[in-house]
Amino acid sequence: MKRSSWRYLWSAQDIRRKLLVTIMLLAIYRLAAHVPVPGVNRVALASIFAAGSAGSGLLGLLDLLSGGTVSSFSVLAMGVYPYITAQIILQLLVPIIPALQKRMEEDPREGQKWMEKWTYILAVPMAALQAVGQINIFNQLSPGGVPIITNFGFVAGSFIRSFSIIFSMTAGTMFAIWLGELISEFGIRNQGLSLIIFAGIVSRIPANFSRLWADQQNRIFLVIFALVITTLTIFAIVYVQQGRRNVPVMYPGRRVGNRMSMPVKGTLPLMVNMAGMIPLIFAQSLLTFPAILASFFAKSSVAWVASTATKVQQLFGGTSNFYWVTYFILVVVFTFFYTNVLFQQQNYGENLKKVGAQIPGVSRGAPTQKYLNKVLSRITLPGALFLGLVAVLPWLLGLFIPILAQNQNALLITSAGLLIVVGVVRDAFFNIQAELKLHGYEDAMLIR
């Protein structure tokens, strides 16, 4: 039996410092999340979420994406989501635009720097656009017609005030991105933005639990059901995320003196879910965009325009059957699409050919890439269907258990949020394990 190397976390000074920096920066983010946007009518804001309308379902969805800051309409109401959206858009443009693909292939390091630079630049206008859309949605959905921010618009007399509000929300997003970058640099490596989202989602658990407990008639059932379904969902997510298809590969032997050693047998692991949580985020962004766009026309003086905008908000508000069915389809489609994009960028066929490796029975180069694409498509199908089911799990449970359809917090964390949380914890675990090994602690992370 090997002793767990977790005992070294605080004795290793460098690792302890990184953990403390990470915790401190996350605490700063959560404190900033409580700073409200100037001029917000908090009474009208609370009444929107208490209304229980289709629109409040959309806002609940936006609240998940922002990590719980939309419900308080803080300066961090958009979280780091505009940056992630900008990152996904640029990644998807690389295989579409030949010049970008050529830039990334010729010098991957410089191409990555270019991607990071333009991701930051693109995140600014996207954050500003989303800020305007969120304010318009809140003002449209406010009961009694009382806006959460009065006189919002770009007309004489309100331009400066409206600009300052948009500027503060955009600055809040960039501040959150900056904190995430600091975590990646000085804390847990390459985990900054993920931990920012993780902290926002986890911070909602106590409030969701208190809402379940407030239902005096069904509190016992809801709490037990939430714990059971959350535990089962976590096990299912971990099981699928760990899924691999090991493709056998023969690597050339090494030269020993004047002789060559025997070829070395190896494997190329292909993940069942290579895309991770990205398809859920991208599908949610695509589905919420029509509702945000429709908010600009909901108060149009033209009757048919206003009516169409209202119907669009209802369809994409997060409560209609159309929304959930479309959500499932988009998650499956984007899982295949994003997996293919990532796999093509890695170009295993040419890379294996360069080192002289070969899959038994398959020619090197393009035939190898074609064979791997075929294998990956087969194993991606169950992964894509699983992601789709996880995404629409609250809706499916509500269809069979009516009481859950009336309680949006029955899972403590939504299934999509749970997928993000499990993924972040898993990546952080392996990151810490790698840090311990770098410091010479070879013991297992867990007791065997």
Quick check: 233 and 390 in contact, CB under 8 A? yes
Q: How many CB atoms lie within 10 A of CB 367?
A: 12
SS3 readout for the chain: CCCCHHHHCCCCHHHHHHHHHHHHHHHHHHHHCCCECCCCCHHHHHHHHHHCCHHHHHHHHHHHHHCCCCCCCECCCCCCHHHHHHHHHHHHHCCCCHHHHHHHHHCHHHHHHHHHHHHHHHHHHHHHHHHHHHHHHHHHHCHHHCCCCCCCCCCCCCHHHHHHHHHHHHHHHHHHHHHHHHHHHHCCCCCHHHHHHHHHHHCCHHHHHHHHHHCCCCHHHHHHHHHHHHHHHHHHHHHHHCCEEEEEEEECCCEECCEECCCEEEEEEEECCCCCCHHHHHHHHHHHHHHHHHCCCCCCCCHHHHHHHHHHHHHCCCCCHHHHHHHHHHHHHHHHHHHHHHHHHHCHHHHHHHCCCECCCCCCCHHHHHHHHHHHHHHHHHHHHHHHHHHCHHHHHHHHCHHHHCCCCCCCCCHHHHHHHHHHHHHHHHHHHHHHHHCCCCCCCCCC
Residue in the structure block whose two tokens are 């013991």: 443
Looking at residue 7, its pLDDT comes to: 64
Looking at residue 121, its pLDDT comes to: 92
- Give every CB contact of residue 12 below 8 A, 6+ residues apart in sequence: 436, 439, 441
The mean per-residue pLDDT over the stretch 225-230 comes to 83
CA distance 379 to 381: 5
List the domains of the chain with CATH numbers. 9-203 (1.10.3370.10), 215-413 (1.10.3370.10)
Quick check: 147 and 298 in contact, CB under 8 A? no
- Partners of 255 in the beta sheet? 260
Burial code of 410-444, b = ≥16 C-beta within 10 A, e = fewer? Answer: bbbbbbbbbbbbbbbeebbeebbbebbeeeebebe
- Give every CB contact of residue 165 below 8 A, 6+ residues apart in sequence: 37, 38, 39, 131, 135, 149, 152
Lowest mean pLDDT among 252-261, 290-299, 362-371, 427-436: 252-261
Question: pLDDT tens across 139-159, in order?
Answer: 776 666 677 787 777 766 677
Q: Tell me the backbone φ, ψ of residue 277, rounded to 5 degrees.
A: -95, 0
Q: What is the pLDDT of the chain when averaged over all its residues?
A: 79
SS3 readout for 306-351: HHHHHHHHHHCCCCCHHHHHHHHHHHHHHHHHHHHHHHHHHCHHHH
Retrieve residue 185's tokens. 């640099």
- Give every CB contact of residue 385 below 8 A, 6+ residues apart in sequence: 332
Quick check: 187 and 25 in contact, CB under 8 A? yes
Residue in the structure block whose two tokens are 């699928």: 240
Q: Is the pLDDT of residue 321 over 70?
A: yes
Question: pLDDT tens across 68-120, in order?
Answer: 677 778 888 888 878 887 887 887 787 788 888 788 777 777 888 888 889 99
Quick check: 338 and 375 in contact, CB under 8 A? no
- Give every CB contact of residue 258 below 8 A, 6+ residues apart in sequence: none
Looking at residue 287, its pLDDT comes to: 79
- Give every CB contact of residue 17 below 8 A, 6+ residues apart in sequence: none
Quick check: 382 and 272 in contact, CB under 8 A? yes
Q: Is the pLDDT of residue 126 over 50?
A: yes
Looking at residue 2, its pLDDT comes to: 47
CA distance 155 to 146: 19
The mean per-residue pLDDT over the stretch 350-370 comes to 83
- Could you report how far apart the first and last alpha carbons of the chain are, in Å? 6
Q: How many CB atoms lie within 10 A of CB 176?
A: 30
Quick check: 306 and 147 in contact, CB under 8 A? no
Burial code of 212-249, b = ≥16 C-beta within 10 A, e = fewer? Answer: beebeeeeeebbebbeebbeebbebbeebbebebebeb
Lowest mean pLDDT among 137-146, 180-189, 336-345: 137-146
Residue in the structure block whose two tokens are 């509702």: 291
Of residues 360 and 263, which shows the higher confidence score?
A: 360
Which pTM does this prediction carry?
A: 0.74
The mean per-residue pLDDT over the stretch 30-56 comes to 73
Amino acid code (one letter) for 249: V
